[in-house]
Amino acid sequence: MVTGSHRVFGCAANFVRGRTCVFCGSFRVNRTRRGYVKCQTCRRQKSLAKLRREIAILQGFYQQVPAYRLAHDLGVDPNVISRVYQKLRAAVFHVAELEGMASKLSGEIELDEAYFGGRRKGRRGRGAAGKSVVFGLLERDGRVYTKVVEHVSADTLMAHIQTTTRKGSVYYTDAFRGYQSLRRYGKHHTVNHSKGLVDRRTKNHINGIEGFWSFAKHILYNYRGVSKYHFPMYLKEIESRFNHRKENLFKLFLRCFFGYVSP
């Protein structure tokens, strides 16, 4: 376990001891004789043993432990682990979507597309069969927003740019033709030469979004192959991990899972 884990996981201590309500954060909690904790504020109750187990599973999720391995470590049925993981991933998905829609990206924004999964190394359009196509928008010194798209036509890209970014922003992209009509929506800089490098002439770059793609690929590698069907869920989880990377992520996952957002 990483050092400083107490700081990360300490927030769960009051829940597992039955002192705080995991649903609403109230301290008016009673312990019943049957081993349940009952909240006097929101009237909900939960088995303390089950609560402890769920929190242990959420720790595993936070540390990106694969479900089968966590099942082995905790001595719990793998289906139980998968159910908790899926429930949390769905909750994180909705929270991330809400956050993404709450305000538009602005200022300096980097745009790029990436391909995930599939066997063949694909290029735009050609050879992309079986892959998930992701359009990513990153506000410099801000957050990233991702969207799984069917294909990268100029219309699709512009539609997403208009719904997620403020008009008049400064855009950085590579020389892909799909971005041609961007200059009518804001200031558009293109990065020439190969990806990941700083344009020698203009000093323009899209290193921010490139950094996000490698962050995503690193996490997906841990999960050892994600089906195309489940991919959007995993992608939002990664987006959430990236956008909240400077905060206590475990605390965020706890809140998502139990539906409690602190004031």
- Tell me the site size for Zn ion, rule CB under 5 A: 7
Nearer to Zn ion, 29 or 84 (CB): 29
Nearer to Zn ion, 23 or 231 (CB): 23
- Binding of residue 21 to Zn ion (CB under 5 A): yes
Shortest CB 160 distance to Zn ion, Å: 39
Residues 37-96 that bind Zn ion (CB under 5 A): 39, 41-42
Shortest CB 86 distance to Zn ion, Å: 24
Residues 99-118 that bind Zn ion (CB under 5 A): none
Nearer to Zn ion, 26 or 181 (CB): 26
Contact with Zn ion (CB under 5 A) among 23, 176, 185, 231: 23
Residue 130 token pair: 């079986």
Contact with Zn ion (CB under 5 A) among 26, 45, 47, 181: 26
Shortest CB 44 distance to Zn ion, Å: 6
- Binding of residue 36 to Zn ion (CB under 5 A): no
Nearer to Zn ion, 23 or 223 (CB): 23
Which residues of the shown chain bind Zn ion in the complex (CB under 5 A)?
21, 23-24, 26, 39, 41-42
